[in-house]
Structure 1
Amino acid sequence: MPPAATESAASSASKTETPTPYLTTMPADDFSWQITLAQKVIAITGANRGIGLGIAEVCLANAAKMVYSLDLMEPGEEFEALQNRFPNLKYIQTDVTSEESVENAINKVVEETGRIDGLVANAGMTKHQPALKFERAELEKLFNLNVFGAYFCAQIAARKFIELGIKGSIVMTSSMTSYRPNRAAPSAPYGATKAAVRNMCHTLAMEWSQHGIRVNSISPGFVRTAMTYYVEKSPDWDLKMQYYGGMPRLADPRELGGAYVYLMSDASSYTTGIDIPIAGIVGAW
């Protein structure tokens, strides 16, 4: 190879191998090391009720500047009651299965506040029935909301963090069914969607760390919501609880909130790519 060609190839290789500078997640030197969301703007998908609303309440209780619920359904009485206590809770109608809808919602948050610091990809659905009865259309509906919705919410938020130069945090709601079967109400497709959510967080955390973006997940066990009302009505519930040595109850959604607050706070600046199981009773089944 002629010398000129050799030099050109070496120059090209040098340019390719230049590492991208990392944006450190370390807080400022005067950081108080309190676990707080003071001055932070948080968006939570599916926060008009259930787990999402519980997360919103705990974020607000921990000094979040603004909390936005990005939800398809209209707010109900529970949301309005919380909004009366915390006027800095807002709602933006959003279809998380539509990238355009999500992008519009994130842009509106930034237009109103000038920033966005955290995104909780929480919106999801479940369907419990024997695997032999699931049809393709039902699986596609589950995956479209639980997996694709979470992925694109994270992607759109990450792009906005990078655009604004914000060291943002993304937390996805997975499930204990991503680890083990739910014997009380089996759903192979639902568990698969939540395993996908938990797994994708690891790779997103690796890819986006150079931008100072952290990505983690939470895996709740049984939480008392409109989707789990049937659990305690099971005829053998008391018997199951008799032989279980842990917490014989379902969680209040707010009991999950502390983990979300920690992961979105600057106190967790070296925490990324992990899942935090908040299992309660599920772990022993």
Structure 2
Amino acid sequence: MNGTNGVNGSSHETMADEAMPFLTTQPPADQNWAITLKDKVIAITGANRGIGLGIAEVCLANSAKIVYSLDLMDPSEDFFALQKKHPNFKYIQTNVTVESSVESAINSIVEAEGAIHGMVCNAGMTKHQPALNFSREEVEKLFNLNVFGAFSCAQIAARKFIELGVKGSIVFTASMTSYRPNRAAPSAPYGGTKAAVRNMTHTLAMEWAKHGIRVNSISPGFVRTAMTYYVERAPDWDLKMQYYGGMPRLAMPQELGGAYVYLLSDTASYTTGIDIPIAGIVGAW
């Protein structure tokens, strides 16, 4: 049965490809080369707090028309503080592990704004503990959100871009743990989820380029959030910095935002299939 579904799905996809005109990736003659999100409608998963909220703030500072946070959790105080400064920052409760929830959110955005131009697949979770202590249930929970949820968000956004004839941009939040171990807080399953995200970025970029869709990822190092603040408080933090080098601090979430803005902007019209590491203390891993 699975084999039959796979064949039908492949045939359906081929017919759709043949019927749908492809969009050129060539910039128009009147291209504005300023790095800006002017007139862009951006969705960011998991933007009610943490890294996602920092990305949203930088997108709004760079003239995004509107930014939507698609998040399962209730908005934080920091969310409302940013929304007070930027009323064009909105929230749709969304469970990114449920396809129908993501589809409903994307459809709601398009109904309200008339379009969507960028999707940041950022929602994720981590659990740091020795590999021998992980249960199968804990591992599956990480993969369900970090990999399957991220893929669903990208796939649903890509379908909507194609339907609307939009040259969309998709940006995944990967991690430096997709490259190497995190010595300070090891988690083999988490690193595995982020390696999967970074790897599928390249293939999705290859497949969807003909539709004018760009797909990239960002790999942050340690970022100061509610989940990581304790790292720099460890008694051996100064010693690690002395021996391993790098910037002796955690990043503010907003310090990642410029890379996301670039990848979401029209200026990045020939940038696809790459990962940008942002890890000022990469040597400390």
Same structural fold, with TM-score higher than 0.5 when normalized by the shorter chain: yes
Equivalenced residues, count: 269
State the one-letter code of the partner of 2:237: W
Tell me the distance in 1 between the aligned counterparts of 2:139 and 2:223.
23
Q: Could you tell me whether the CA contact under 8 Å between 1:22 and 1:209 is conserved in 2?
A: no
1:150 and 2:177 aligned: no
1:263 deviation in Å? Answer: 0.3
After superposing the two structures, state which structure 1 stretch, 52-61 or 238-247, moved more: 238-247
CA offsets, 1:229-276, max 9 Å, x none?
221121211111222332100000000000000000000000000000
- Where does residue 25 of structure 1 map in the other structure? 25
The 5 Å alignment of 1:1-285 reads: 22-285=22-285
Tell me the secondary structure at the aligned position of residue 259 of structure 1.
Answer: helix
Tell me the secondary structure at the aligned position of residue 195 of structure 1.
Answer: helix
Q: Could you tell me whether the CA contact under 8 Å between 2:246 and 2:282 is conserved in 1?
A: no
Q: Could you tell me whether the CA contact under 8 Å between 1:36 and 1:63 is conserved in 2?
A: yes
Tell me the distance in 2 between the aligned counterparts of 1:284 and 1:24.
43
Q: Could you tell me whether the CA contact under 8 Å between 1:97 and 1:144 is conserved in 2?
A: yes
Tell me the distance in 2 between the aligned counterparts of 1:189 and 1:266.
35
Change (3 A) 1:19 1:81: closer
State the one-letter code of the partner of 1:105: A
Q: Give the TM-score normalised by the residue count of structure 2.
A: 0.92
Tell me the secondary structure at the aligned position of residue 115 of structure 1.
Answer: coil
State the one-letter code of the partner of 1:225: T
Tell me the distance in 2 between the aligned counterparts of 1:128 and 1:246.
22
- Where does residue 12 of structure 1 map in the other structure? none
After superposing the two structures, state which structure 1 stretch, 230-239 or 114-123, moved more: 230-239
1:282 deviation in Å? Answer: 2.4
1:63 deviation in Å? Answer: 0.3
CA offsets, 1:50-83, max 9 Å, x none?
0000000000000000000000011111000000
1:139 deviation in Å? Answer: 0.4
**Structure 2: runs of 5+ lacking an equivalent:** 1-13
Tell me the distance in 2 between the aligned counterparts of 1:245 and 1:283.
6
Larger radius of gyration: 1
State the one-letter code of the partner of 1:41: V
State the one-letter code of the partner of 1:107: N
Q: Could you tell me whether the CA contact under 8 Å between 1:42 and 1:68 is conserved in 2?
A: yes
State the one-letter code of the partner of 1:87: P
> RMSD between aligned alpha carbons?
1.4
Q: Could you tell me whether the CA contact under 8 Å between 2:177 and 2:191 is conserved in 1?
A: yes
Q: Could you tell me whether the CA contact under 8 Å between 2:44 and 2:122 is conserved in 1?
A: yes
Tell me the distance in 2 between the aligned counterparts of 1:34 and 1:219.
24
Tell me the secondary structure at the aligned position of residue 91 of structure 1.
Answer: strand
Tell me the distance in 2 between the aligned counterparts of 1:47 and 1:90.
10
Tell me the distance in 2 between the aligned counterparts of 1:245 and 1:200.
31
State the one-letter code of the partner of 2:252: D
Q: Could you tell me whether the CA contact under 8 Å between 1:21 and 1:210 is conserved in 2?
A: no
State, as a whole percentage, how many aligned pairs show the same letter.
Answer: 80
Change (3 A) 1:66 1:19: closer
**Structure 1: runs of 5+ lacking an equivalent:** 1-15
Q: Could you tell me whether the CA contact under 8 Å between 1:115 and 1:164 is conserved in 2?
A: yes
Tell me the secondary structure at the aligned position of residue 34 of structure 1.
Answer: coil
CA offsets, 1:169-228, max 9 Å, x none?
000000000000000011000000000000001000011011000000000000000110
Q: Give the TM-score normalised by the residue count of structure 1.
A: 0.92
